[in-house]
Structure 1
Amino acid sequence: MAEKEWEGDFDPMADPEEQHNFFPHLERGADPTSSYRRLAHFNGTHVRRQAFYSMPREHWMLLSKPPFSVLDTFTKMDDLIDSNAELAEAIFMAGFKAFLAPTLDSEWVASIVPEKYAHNEYQIYSIVMDHMKTQTSQADMEKARSCVNQFYREWSAEGAIERSKCFDPVVAALEGEYIRRSHEAAELDKSDLRVLVPGTGLGRLVFDVCRAGFSVEGNEISYHELMASSLILNHTEKVGQFKIAPFALNCSNHIDRSDQFQTFQIPDVHPGSELADVGQSKVPGHERMSMSTGDFCVLYSQPEYAGTFDVVATVFFIDTAPNVIRYIEAVRNCLKPDGIWINLGPLLWHHSSRKEADGNYNEERKHTRADVTDAGIGDPGSVELTAEEVLALVQHFGFAMEKYEYGLETGYISNPHSMLQSTYRPSFWIARKEQSRH
């Protein structure tokens, strides 16, 4: 039974100009999600079956029997791929219907769709994508696969372990800032604090900040994640609507085969029900949450965003910058004097391993704001700094460091049963923009 729905719409394409500029990349984002099932079966099990049968016959026959039953493992992987594909195809359907369908000529669509598929939305959308001949790169496919797995971290009950370590400190810092300001303005409502969350991913931190009562704007450049966040925030009907197996396609470092085949229900909460209530604010949730698309550096460095937000919250974000100074300048521009910048994350500088995807990455960025010549994150040049050097830069650009912690340990989409455990020890800091600096 469907949960009650909220009145809002977390729509990353509400601005017609944004929709026009982002359209080519929504196509590229939709295509790999629609193709997830076929390509995951090919790369996940078909290739492995070929390699398995290439072994000496007596070897593969041995491994086909208990207690190994490798062929049964491939069959189970196929079943879980189908489960993941249901989510990927729901993302495709929601994204296509919301962002691409309104731009299509209905007579052209009718001319290319066989009559037997006239009432099958998925088939109609898939046929349209085939006729558009969208070019999907390996990087696009990897983003689609990663996006499905990201739901484990952001929207499963089990992912709460990682979320609590990364998101809870941010919400606690917001609460502290609200209490501080309430002493100066007794009538202050939580909704009066405007929060910006760059690199919002699948929208969970934005949702949590809104649920806590604050006004929040998410920003995201990835068209894959924009469509996924739109699905989960706008179109899910109930808790646990989808079942995912985030570790199914990784066949390494498992102690027991059941570890590989763990499944999780998402979402763990129904966003519509949660945000339909006013909660901790006088303003309904749907009036306090919004989304922008495009390059953070380009968009929030513009004069119209100067002094707009009370708080900027970045989580696992600043290391996506080739030149972190661009991020600092954008934060300084859009933050009000005496506003705070809350940051939590490591420094795994993404651009250092981005060379193969640079063409797609820069092409994606180019279409986010056609009217702006600033290349933003696509600017040439890059640098990899230490945590202390980043702190020194933040202070150089007019921020006073109010809190700094290091030593928190967290994973990122980690399988707790894996023989390989990757642990981050991110820094956490709160910096206040000095009132005399603009």
Structure 2
Amino acid sequence: MSSVRAAEREMHRGEHEDDERRRQRKLEEALEVKSLRRIISAYLNYPEAAEEDVRRYERSFKMLPPSHKALLSHYPLKFQRLRRAYNVDLTVELVKLRILTLCPISRCISAIPQTGVIGIKDTDVRDGPHLERVSYNHDVSGVKIVRSSQSNSTSERMHISNSDQACCGEGSSAVCSSPIGVTTKKEVNNEGHCDSITERHTSGREYNREMHNCDRNDAIDSNGDVSSPTRTWLDPSLQLHVPLVDVDKVRCIVRNIVRDWAAEGQKERDQCYKPILEELDSLFADRSKESPPACLVPGAGLGRLALEISCLGFISQGNEFSYYMMICSSFILNHSRTAGEWTIYPWIHSNCNSLSDSDQLRPVSVPDIHPASAGITEGFSMCGGDFVEVYNDPNQVGVWDAVVTCFFIDTAHNIVEYIEIISRILKDGGVWINMGPLLYHFAEMYGQDDEMSIELSLEDVKRVALHYGFHFEKEKTIETTYTTNPKSMMQNRYNAAFWTMRKRSAIATEQATP
């Protein structure tokens, strides 16, 4: 009899634990929706914020004495041109095409050319580069919920609110805020400069409080179910008035579009991407279409480098942590029907360092190529999630032939952990190609004292890499810019570190270790 009671107690305990897990998952998804709602609202607020800028310009102009106004009689026309520019900007098209209908959690977006578009599919993060082929039509409605079969409830989260990974405004010293979490401050003292990426990693205490306070009505219906992917995010009742700094992140995305998807960004791509592509092409000269090598691109941003690697004949997977980036990359990859289809005005948001009004107001056509017609290799994908959480999975060990990092490794809280994971996921003999500076994004943190920022010199980075089994094959410095207006009077440049390292076998590493 006692054994029956014990079994009943165990059964009830299991049911209670299952209920608690379901409740926790629903609350987590509600928090994701809450964060995503704020990000989408930043896109939706973009025209309104631009209008406020123009009103500010007009107020200043009205303060001028008549004689000064006469000297600047063309300014009212400039204000009209600014209004026309931001009202036909690509971000407005993002709203018109209603592609912001996203589900709270996305893990992997498989991009495979089919019927003229690159489509989105659900996949398990453990699939690595080996993804199934799937048919798509032109109606790509959004990203569905995908869970890592290895993850627990905490690591499953995309941490949207914790990693918006967007940039502070141009020509400013801005503090990028978040609903929750720790904020980092990076000064941006050059126009169009987007290397200041703000991330927030929430402590467990802060996260639990936010979960407790999360409004379930934001994401969960009367049946306790998380809203479906067809939720109408554009319903005015769901839109938020977000801080202008959130809209600055959207403006940063617009400048990233120039870098990745415009002819005007070709010079930067030649400086940053071309050396990587040439190195991959040389190192894998004998690659075959039947068994293409697999290449991972952490911090893939808007996806151009990952796509170019795919076009070289690699199974390429981009990994991105920022929903600001993912919304825009999904738009370009999945909704572009032809090259030059969209127009943006990336430089209208700052009057500083302009040679002329025409330079400031010049339109830029995007994309410069049609992604679905670029000749990508089957298996090209974009995986959403934190690099550490996604690729620390045991099923990722020894999966990749190459890892490419471009302006990425300094986004780490712990760069040693990044290097360790890169080594772990590479096959023996695999290569790590890196390009970028060491502008550590958490170097000036404001918030919780227990937040980590490990800021190594380049010399120490090399030493850590050697410890984890790498040896150098090539190393040099490359001068480059990042999302810089090529016609601006102010040009900030990096002397970026470029290297190729190869992972030794475990036996060779043990022999080389003193």
TM-score of Structure 1 vs Structure 2, range by shorter chain: 0.7 to 0.9
Report SS of the residue matched to 2:317: strand
Give, in angstroms, the shift of residue 344 of structure 1: 0.4
Q: Match for 2:420 among 311, 314, 329?
A: 329
Give, in angstroms, the shift of residue 27 of structure 1: 2.4
Q: Deviations over 1:413-433 (max 9, x none)?
A: 222222111111211001111
Q: Match for 1:217 among 314, 317, 326?
A: 317
Q: Quick check: 1:426 aligned with 2:496?
A: yes
Relative to structure 1, the CA distance from residue 298 to residue 137 in structure 2 (aligned partners, 3 Å threshold; closer, same or farther) is: farther
Q: 1:378-397 to 2 correspondence within 5 Å? A: 380-397=451-468
Question: Is the Cα–Cα contact under 8 Å of residues 322 and 383 in structure 1 kept in the other structure?
Answer: yes
Give, in angstroms, the shift of residue 326 of structure 1: 1.8
Match of 1:48 in 2: 57
Q: Match for 2:66 among 58, 63, 68?
A: 58
Match of 1:339 in 2: 430
Q: Quick check: 1:402 aligned with 2:473?
A: yes
Q: What is the one-letter code of the residue matched to 2:485?
A: N
Question: Is the Cα–Cα contact under 8 Å of residues 190 and 213 in structure 1 kept in the other structure?
Answer: no
Relative to structure 1, the CA distance from residue 125 to residue 101 in structure 2 (aligned partners, 3 Å threshold; closer, same or farther) is: farther
Relative to structure 1, the CA distance from residue 226 to residue 145 in structure 2 (aligned partners, 3 Å threshold; closer, same or farther) is: same
Question: Is the Cα–Cα contact under 8 Å of residues 100 and 233 in structure 2 kept in the other structure?
Answer: no
Q: Match for 1:170 among 267, 271, 276?
A: 276
Give, in angstroms, the shift of residue 64 of structure 1: 3.8
Q: Match for 1:39 among 49, 59, 63?
A: 49
Question: Is the Cα–Cα contact under 8 Å of residues 156 and 268 in structure 1 kept in the other structure?
Answer: yes
TM superposition score normalised by structure 2? 0.65
Report SS of the residue matched to 2:456: coil
Give, in angstroms, the shift of residue 54 of structure 1: 3.1
Relative to structure 1, the CA distance from residue 25 to residue 99 in structure 2 (aligned partners, 3 Å threshold; closer, same or farther) is: farther
Structure 1 residues 317-326 or 85-94, which shifts more? 85-94
Match of 2:134 in 1: none
Question: Is the Cα–Cα contact under 8 Å of residues 435 and 497 in structure 2 kept in the other structure?
Answer: yes
Question: Is the Cα–Cα contact under 8 Å of residues 308 and 334 in structure 1 kept in the other structure?
Answer: yes
User: What 5-or-longer segments of structure 1 have no aligned partner?
Assistant: 1-17, 109-120, 279-284, 360-377
Q: CA separation in 2, counterparts of 1:269 and 1:188? A: 25
Q: CA separation in 1, counterparts of 2:322 and 2:84? A: 28
Q: Deviations over 1:163-194 (max 9, x none)?
A: 01111111111112212xx3xxxx84475311
Q: CA separation in 1, counterparts of 2:407 and 2:434? A: 8
Match of 1:416 in 2: 486
Q: 1:234-249 to 2 correspondence within 5 Å? A: 234-249=334-349
Q: What is the one-letter code of the residue matched to 2:69?
A: M
Q: Quick check: 1:74 aligned with 2:145?
A: no
Question: Is the Cα–Cα contact under 8 Å of residues 46 and 91 in structure 2 kept in the other structure?
Answer: no
Give, in angstroms, the shift of residue 255 of structure 1: 2.0
Report SS of the residue matched to 2:88: helix
Match of 1:126 in 2: 234
Q: Quick check: 1:294 aligned with 2:364?
A: no
Question: Is the Cα–Cα contact under 8 Å of residues 321 and 384 in structure 2 kept in the other structure?
Answer: yes
Q: What is the one-letter code of the residue matched to 2:280?
A: L
Q: 1:88-237 to 2 correspondence within 5 Å? A: 89-90=94-95, 93-96=98-101, 98-99=141-142, 125-127=233-235, 130-132=236-238, 134=240, 136-179=242-285, 182=286, 188-189=288-289, 191-237=291-337
Question: Is the Cα–Cα contact under 8 Å of residues 254 and 346 in structure 2 kept in the other structure?
Answer: yes
Question: Is the Cα–Cα contact under 8 Å of residues 306 and 334 in structure 1 kept in the other structure?
Answer: yes
Q: CA separation in 1, counterparts of 2:450 and 2:423? A: 19
Relative to structure 1, the CA distance from residue 107 to residue 193 in structure 2 (aligned partners, 3 Å threshold; closer, same or farther) is: same
Q: CA separation in 2, counterparts of 1:174 and 1:24? A: 41
Match of 1:282 in 2: none
Q: CA separation in 1, counterparts of 2:450 and 2:380? A: 30
Q: Quick check: 1:309 aligned with 2:369?
A: no
Q: What is the one-letter code of the residue matched to 1:145?
A: R
Give, in angstroms, the shift of residue 63 of structure 1: 4.1
Report SS of the residue matched to 2:100: helix
Relative to structure 1, the CA distance from residue 259 to residue 397 in structure 2 (aligned partners, 3 Å threshold; closer, same or farther) is: same
Which has more helix, going by share of residues? 1
Q: What is the one-letter code of the residue matched to 2:66?
A: E
For the aligned residues, what is the CA RMSD? 3.2
Question: Is the Cα–Cα contact under 8 Å of residues 191 and 215 in structure 1 kept in the other structure?
Answer: no
Q: CA separation in 1, counterparts of 2:313 and 2:457? A: 35
Q: Deviations over 1:141-170 (max 9, x none)?
A: 222111112111100112111101111111
Q: CA separation in 2, counterparts of 1:40 and 1:49? A: 13
Question: Is the Cα–Cα contact under 8 Å of residues 405 and 434 in structure 2 kept in the other structure?
Answer: yes
Question: Is the Cα–Cα contact under 8 Å of residues 153 and 163 in structure 1 kept in the other structure?
Answer: yes
Number of equivalent positions: 366
Question: Is the Cα–Cα contact under 8 Å of residues 191 and 288 in structure 1 kept in the other structure?
Answer: no
